Every structure is written in structure tokens, then in C-alpha cells.
A and B are shown apart, each in its own frame.
Chain A
Amino acid sequence: MPDRLRRLLQACGEVLQGAFGTDAYARYRAHHASHHPGETPKDRATYFREQQRERWEGINRCC
């Protein structure tokens, strides 16, 4: 049972992360580490600036 509870809480946390996009930078770092080893990744501020601009180029909110 505690295991199920832990999984439930983890899922809730992930839903919140997805809603806010707070996981984006960590995911970028993971991608960078696996796909471009040896290169320097962007720092959080730079990544955030670029991602925020892109996020608003298309339809991402509904009625």
C-alpha cells in the first residue's frame, strides 16, 4: 500500500510539473547529456529565455 501511495503522489507531482513546464530544463539537460556528450549545455537562464519565446509561437491554450 505505501508503494501505491508513493506512486500516486509521484504522479500528482508529475501532473503539476507538466502543467507548468517546470521539468523542461531538467529534461533538456538529460537530452543534452545523452545526445551531445562533451558539449556545454545552456545554463538555466538562457534555456528559459529561449524556451519561453518558442512556447508562445503556436496555439497552446484553449477556451
Chain B
Amino acid sequence: MLKKLTGVALAAGAAFALGGIAINRGEPINTLWILAAAGCIYTLGYRFYAAWIAARVLACDASRATPAERLDNGRDYVPTPKWVVFGHHFAAIAGPGPLVGPTLAAQFGYLPGTLWILIGSVLGGCVQDMVVLFASVRRDGRTLGQMARDELGPIGGVAALIGTLAIMIILIAVLSLVVVNAMKHSPWATSTVFATIPIAMLVGLYMRLIRPGRVAEGSVIGVALLLLAVVGGGWIDHQPVLRGWFDQEGVTLAWFVMGYGFLAAIMPVWLLLAPRDYLSTFLKLGTVMLLAVSILLMHPDLKMPALTRFVDGSGPVFAGPLFPFVFITIACGAISGFHSLIASGTTPKLLRSERDIRLVGYGSMLLESLVAVMAMIAASLLDPGVYFAINSPLAALGGSPEAVVTTLSGLGFPVSVAQMQGLAHQVGEATLFARTGGAPSLAVGMASILSGVFGASLLAIWYHFAIMFEAVFILTTLDAGTRVGRFMLQDTLGALWAPLGRTSWYPSVLFSSALVVAAWGYFLYVGVIDPNGGINILWPLFGISNQMLAAIALSVMTAILLKGPRPRQALITALPLAWLAFVTTAAAWAKLFSANPKIGFLAGAHDLAARLAAGSLPAEKAAVAGRLIFNQQLDAALAAFFLLVLWVVILDMLRFALRRLRGAPVPASPETPYRRSQLPEAAGA
């Protein structure tokens, strides 16, 4: 009874907060409304929907021994308390994705993105993570790829493998482009980001040689050094000679990032990868908490309108209308296919009881969703004119700062060159025009929140702290991703020639690492030389690939639920799957066949070729036009390929679903048989 009453109260709270947001059009909305709506919706989702799924659909059984108990080996299979697993899982799923996507999607206004983050996570992303985690726990911790093969057959297995490799390449390319854009001609940001590399190595040496295994000590020292590097970057920025060293073109920085990725993939993990990851985890948790508390304390008004005129697809940040592009621009934070790899990776091998699946699977994703909401808030509290001036490529709005402010002011987003210069000066940058990729605008937003709490004199420090925080995050994804890509490639190549599959044979390590770096390096390079900024091409491609992976995961889960006693309950994954298939197909279709050269890859390539032939391209663009044309065609091929994989898996699942619903025999689901748990925690169940 009490539970029902709180449910009604929460629903009323959510309705009231959202209603407040909806009715108060025209006057500024305070962030507290957004946070209140988020809190109510999350609590409703967790207390009711997730609880119902755990009890009725999945029938989580606390008395059932988990793989951690049955296969306990003290290494990867270890029964672990739920909050420890929660921390482990959240640290693994939370990356830079939910920070970038909402920042870009803010061009539609704050409302569409926020609603998608809230509803998409509660009904889609959290359910996916939780069901995948459950399925893997019931199968001795098998991975998504293995489950796809078991449940759907070889087609599903191959699709999952290809999907994972493809998403990894696109993901690394787009994230490294975000870092390069944040460092371009910014000696402060560049020197700080570069300093993170030797700092990580020092920490690695400390944890390896000086105080082996003392992770917390090493991390605290490392974070202190990182903060010093932020301040030191400001000092370098004022030294004429040193400044010149770190004042680099995008292309140079892109080569540095590629070189770094290659070295990180072949170096011993303890020296660079592992310590960088500890530092990144430290910063991640610390900054997210700091930001949350600061937003609560400051509770600023949002200056971005609820909806902007760019819902029609004419937006300068990236081209494409609200539908379907908001749903692929925000992937992480609402639903992220990549999570299904984590939820079927190390986490299922740690769970002590099936009772913890709701907290770890559903709960971690709710927290990630909240991070995305905060990124949306940070973007929406900037003056809209400033937001668009930072995030739009110059070429999209006239080619020069003066043209940009004129165009934006004409569109109803007033901003002036003096205002932008003043802001750039305050944060210690030469310019903030056309700093695409989302990191600089998020950093300005974060800096303004944090300096509101800690004093305005530190704005430049907070800005570069935010840039460093994002860069550390991204470089961690970059080197971990390159390494995983290398393993997957070696696994595949090993089938062709066995020695290539040996992960410790050095020639194979060098060869496969170089191949992976070349793959993402290509997209990074083209993104950097593209006068339109590259993000507007790569980010949609990333969104499509991530949603494709989510659709694969949801297809496998739907097949598993269909094999269960109550096939109708497969709707909990089938409905998000249907929605994802719909929006991803619509988006990929638009990227392929839209006649608008800003949206369609093929139309874009065609338009460039026509203008090149007519000689109407500006000289800088004509010089790279050949490569841009090829790239657009390649992107079109990739989008078509993702679409194909998506539908092959879905049709495979539907074929299977039809058999099941007609009552025809289907292969059994290879679930590990029940065994009673002997752990004391299970005694009460």
C-alpha cells in the first residue's frame, strides 16, 4: 500500500515537474525542474518497472548460485558485495559518450534531448543492460557474441563480432577528433593533455616498482600532478617560446594522437594503460560528483529555449532534423549498445546474488543517464548564441567570426565578436569560435557552474580542468579500445594464419596494432582536414553503429525471453528494439539517400564533385575535395553496411520469433542448471 502511494506521489511529482517545464514556455526554466523530473522518473523506473522485470519477467532467484559462486577462482570469478560490483560496472560503462552527445543535441533545444535521455534510459538502455547482465549470469558469464551465436546461430555471432569491431573504430576516431579539436591552437590545453602521458607513466612506475599494488596512493599522487599540470599549462601559455611548441595545427595533433595510440597499444599495460585508467576513474567519479553538487547549489536558469528553429534540420552544429537525429546523436546516456559488451564481460562474473542484478544493471545505467542530463544542462545554460558560435564549424555559418555572429544574431541567437573574445580571454583561449566536438562548450558550461561555486577568478583554471578531464577520459577509451581492437583483429587473423593470432608474438602485435590505428586514424585525419569540422559526419555514424549494436543485443535478448515460459514478456526488449530499428533505419536512410548535400553522404559527395568540376570551391576546400569525396562515399558504404547488419540480425530474430509463436520447436536456451547457493546472503531467500 505504502509502495503504491509513493508511486502515485512520484508520478505526480514527475508530471508536475515536466508540466512546469512544458507550461513555462517563454520564461527561463530552472535546472531544478529538470533534476526533479529526472529524479522522479528514475525512481519510478527503478522502484516499479525494474522491480517488476526482475521479479516477474526474469524471475531473478536469490537462492540460485551465481557463476561467481560456482566457478569462484579468486581471479575473474569472485563473489563480490553489490555496491562494489556497482562501482566496478559504473566505472566501466561511464565514458565520454554521454558528455558529447547531449552537448551536440542541445542544438534542437534542451527539451527533446532531455526527454529522450530520461525515457530512453528508463524504458530502453537500463532494460538492455539489466537483461543482458541477467542472461550472462545465467550462462556462466558468456559474452554477447557467444550468446548471439548460441541463441540465434552463426549469423548473429558474426554480426555481433563485426558490429563490435566497427563501433570501436568509429568511436575512437570521433573521440580523438573531439580531443584534437579541443587542443587545436590552444597551448594551454595541448600542454596539459600532453603532460597527462608522463604523469600516467610515473604513476605506473610507482605502482609497479615503488609501492606495488597500492592503487589508491598512486592515484592520489597522480591526480595531484594532473591538477598541477592544469595550472602549469596556464604558465606555459604565458611563455612566448614554450607557447609556440604547443601551438599546433589540427593535422599535427592528429598525427601525435595516432602515434600515441599505437605506442599505448604495444607498451606494457602497467606502464601507461592501467595507471591512466586509474587516474581517469578518479577524475570521472570526482568530477561527476562535483558537478552534481555544484548544479544543485547553483541551480542556474537554462538559457537555451526548449525547442529551437533547428528542429527542421537546418542546424549548424550538425545537419539533420529532430526526427530521427536526436535519437542517434544521443546514444550513450539513453541507450548504448556498447554497454551490452560490458554487461556480458567482467560484471556477471562478480555478482554474488541474482538479487543484485537490478541495482547493478539498471541502477548503473540510471546514473550514466544522469551524467547525460548534466551535460545537457551544462550546454543549455550558456547563451544560445555563444553555444552555437562555439559548436558550429565556421564554414557552416559564413566562414568568418563576423559572418558567424551576423548569421546567428539574424537567426534569433544574439552574440557578438566582442562577447566571444571576452569569454575566450576569460577562459585563457585565443578563440572560442568553431571549437567543434562538444568538449570546449561543455568545458565553458562546467567552468561557469564550478566558478559560480568557487569564485569567478578561477574560470580559466576550471575550463582547462574540464578539458583535461575530458581528454584523460577520451585517451583512456582510445588506448583501451585500440588494444581491444588489436585482440579482436588478432583473433580473426589467427584463423587465416595461426601465428598472427598469438597475442604475444611481437610482429603480429605490431602489425595488428598498426592496422587498428590506421583504421581509426584515417577517419580522424579526414575529420581534421574537413573544413566542416568532421564531427557532423563522424558523430552520426558513431550513433548509428552504437544503436546497431544495441539492436543486436536487444534481438538476442528478445530471442532468449521468447524461449522462456511467457513469450509475451519479450515485449520489454522487443518494443525498445522496434523503436531503435525504426530510428536507426530512418537515420541511416537519411544519411544515405537524403538529397540535401549537408545530410546525405552520397548527395554530399555528388555536390562536392559538381562544385569541384565547376571550380566554385574555395581554394582550401578544393585542395582536399578529392579526399572528402572519397570519404563521403566510404561513409555511405559504412552506413549501408550497418543497416544491412542491423536488418540481418532482426530478420534472423523474427524468423525465430515466428517459429516460437506458432508453437514450432526451437533450439533450447543453454542456461546453466539451477544449483542452490551456499552463500550466507542467499540464506534469507
Binding site for B on A (CB under 8 A): 10-12, 14-23, 25, 27-28, 31-32, 35, 44-45, 47-49, 51-63
Is B345 in contact with A58, judged by CB distance below 8 angstroms?
Answer: yes
Known: A15-B87, A60-B342. 18 other contacts (CB 8 A): A15-B83, A15-B86, A20-B278, A21-B215, A23-B84, A27-B78, A31-B78, A44-B212, A47-B213, A48-B207, A49-B212, A54-B76, A56-B269, A59-B345, A60-B346, A60-B480, A62-B97, A63-B97
Residues of A within 8 A of B483 (CB): 56
Contact B274 A56 (CB under 8 A): yes
Contact of B342 with A62 in the complex, beta carbons under 8 Å:
yes
With contacts A14-B83, A19-B88 taken as known, whether A60 is within 8 angstroms of B274 at the C-beta atoms is no
Contact with A along B71-83 (1 / 0, CB 8 A): 0111110101101
How far, in whole Å, are A53 and B270 apart by their CA atoms in the complex?
7
Interface residues of B in 105-134 (CB under 8 A from A): none
Residue B458 at the chain A interface, CB threshold 8 Å: no
Verify if B219 is at the interface (C-beta below 8 Å from A).
yes
- The CA-CA distance from A49 to B204 in the complex, in Å, is 11
Q: Could you write out 14 A-B pairs with CB less than 8 Å apart?
A: A11-B83, A14-B86, A18-B83, A20-B278, A22-B216, A27-B80, A31-B78, A52-B274, A57-B487, A62-B95, A62-B338, A63-B171, A63-B175, A63-B338
Chain A residues near B88 (CB-CB < 8 A): 18-19, 21
Chain B residues with Cβ below 8 Å from A22 are 215-216
Chain A residue contacts of B555, Cβ below 8 A: none
Q: A62-B93, A62-B95 are in contact. Are A20 and B212 (CB under 8 A)?
A: no
Docked Cα-Cα span, A6 to B341, in Å, equals 34
B582 to chain A, nearest CB (A): 23
Chain B residues within 8 Å of A19, by CB:
87-88, 90-91, 281, 285
CB neighbours (8 Å) of A11 from chain B are 83
B333 → chain A closest CB, angstroms: 10
Chain A positions within 8 Å of B75 at CB level: 28, 51, 54
Output the residue of B88, B216, B270, B278 with the most chain A CB within 10 A. Answer: B88
- What is the 8 Å Cβ interface bit string for chain B, positions 478-516, against chain A (1 contact, 0 not)? 001101100100000000000000000000000000000
Give Cα distance in the complex from A28 to B73, angstroms: 9
Measured CA separation A20–B95 after assembly (Å): 15
Size of interface on B: residues with Cβ below 8 Å to A: 58
The answer to whether A60 touches B87 (Cβ under 8 A) is no
Task: Kindly state the separation between the CA atoms of A56 and B483 in the bound complex, as whole angstroms.
Answer: 8
CB neighbours of B338 from chain A (8 A): 62-63
Cβ contact within 8 Å between B92 and A62: yes
Q: Name the B residues within 8 Å of A17 (CB-CB).
A: 84, 87
**Minimum CB–CB distance for A27 against chain B, Å:** 5
| Distance in angstroms between the alpha carbons of A51 and B96 in the assembled complex | 26
Q: Is the interface of B mostly helix, strand, loop or mixed?
A: helix
Residues of B within 8 A of A (CB): 72-76, 78, 80-81, 83-97, 164, 171, 175, 207-208, 212-213, 215-216, 219, 269-270, 273-274, 277-278, 281-282, 285, 332, 336, 338-339, 341-342, 345-346, 476-477, 480-481, 483-484, 487, 546
Kindly provide the distance from the CB of A58 to the nearest chain B CB, expressed in whole angstroms.
6
Complex contact B212–A45 (CB within 8 A)? yes
Kindly identify which residue among B269, B281, B481 contacts A52, using a CB–CB cutoff of 8 Å.
B269
A54 to chain B, nearest CB (A): 7
Instruction: Verify B86–A27 contact, CB threshold 8 A.
Output: no
Residue in A19, A48, A62 with the greatest tally of chain B CB atoms within 10 Å:
A62
Known: A60-B92, A61-B277. A14 touches B481 (CB 8 A): no
Q: Give, as a whole number of angstroms, the nearest-CB distance from A45 to chain B.
A: 3
- A10, A17, A20, A23: which has the most chain B beta carbons within 10 Å? A20
The answer for the CA separation of A6 and B483 in the assembled complex, in Å, is: 41
A55 close to B90 (CB less than 8 A): no
Minimum distance in angstroms from B500 CB to a CB of chain A? 17
Question: What residues of A have a CB within 8 angstroms of the CB of B207 in the complex?
Answer: 48
Partner of A58, one of B87, B175, B281, B346: B346
Whether B95 contacts A63 by the Cβ 8 Å rule is yes
Given A25-B213, A54-B76, verify A63-B83 contact (CB < 8 Å).
no
Q: Which residues of chain B come closer than 8 Å to A27, judged between CB atoms? A: 74, 78, 80
Cα–Cα distance between A45 and B477 once the two chains are bound (Å): 26
Q: Which residue of A lies closest to B476 (CB)?
A: A61
User: Which residues on A sit within 8 Å (CB–CB) of B341?
Assistant: 59, 62
Q: Is the CB of B97 within 8 A of A16?
A: no
- Nearest-neighbour CB distance to chain A for B171, whole angstroms, equals 5
Contacts of B93 in A (CB 8 A): 62
Partner of A56, one of B94, B208, B273, B546: B273
- How far is A6 from B481 in the complex, measured between Cα atoms in Å? 39
A45, B336: Cβ atoms closer than 8 Å = no
9 smallest CB-CB distances across A and B, nearest first, come from A18-B87, A31-B74, A45-B212, A48-B213, A14-B83, A15-B87, A63-B97, A18-B84, A19-B91
* Shortest Cβ gap from B438 to chain A (Å): 13
Q: Which residue of A lies closest to B98 (CB)?
A: A63
Closest Cβ–Cβ distance, residue B266 to chain A (whole Å): 13
Given contacts A61-B477, A62-B94, contact A18 B78 (CB under 8 A): no
Known: A15-B83, A17-B84, A27-B80. A60 touches B345 (CB 8 A): yes
Given contacts A19-B281, A52-B270, contact A59 B72 (CB under 8 A): no
CB pair A18 B85 closer than 8 Å: yes
Distance between B308 CB and nearest chain A CB, rounded to angstroms: 26
Nearest CB on A from B225, distance (A): 17
A48 to B380, CA, bound (A): 44
A28 to chain B: which residues have CB within 8 Å?
A: 74-75, 78
**Closest chain B residue to A58 by CB distance?**
B345
Give complex CA distance A40, B163 in Å: 44
Smallest CB separation, B78 vs chain A (Å): 5
Q: Which residue of chain A has the shortest Cβ distance to B76 in the bound complex?
A: A54
Tell me which residues across on chain A come within 8 A of B546, comparing CB atoms: 63
A33 to B332, CA, bound (A): 41
Q: Which residues of A contact B86 (CB under 8 A)?
A: 14-15, 18
Q: Which residue of A lies closest to B546 (CB)?
A: A63
Residue in B78, B93, B476 whose Cβ sees the most chain A Cβ within 10 Å:
B78
Which residues of B have CB within 8 Å of A62?
A: 92-95, 97, 332, 336, 338-339, 341-342, 477
Residues of chain A within 8 A of B89, CB atoms compared: 18
Contact indicator A35/B91 (Cβ below 8 Å): no
B484, A58: Cβ atoms under 8 Å? Answer: yes
Q: Complex formed: what's the CA distance from A44 to B214 in Å?
A: 9
Q: Which of B74, B208, B477 contacts A63 (CB under 8 A)?
A: B477
User: Given the interface contacts A19-B91, A27-B80, A53-B269, does A44 sit within 8 Å of B213 by beta carbon?
Assistant: yes
CB-based nearest A residue for B213? A48
Per the bound structure, the CA–CA distance linking A9 and B651 in Å amounts to 49
Residues of B within 8 A of A10 (CB): 83
Complex: A25 Cα to B487 Cα, angstroms: 26
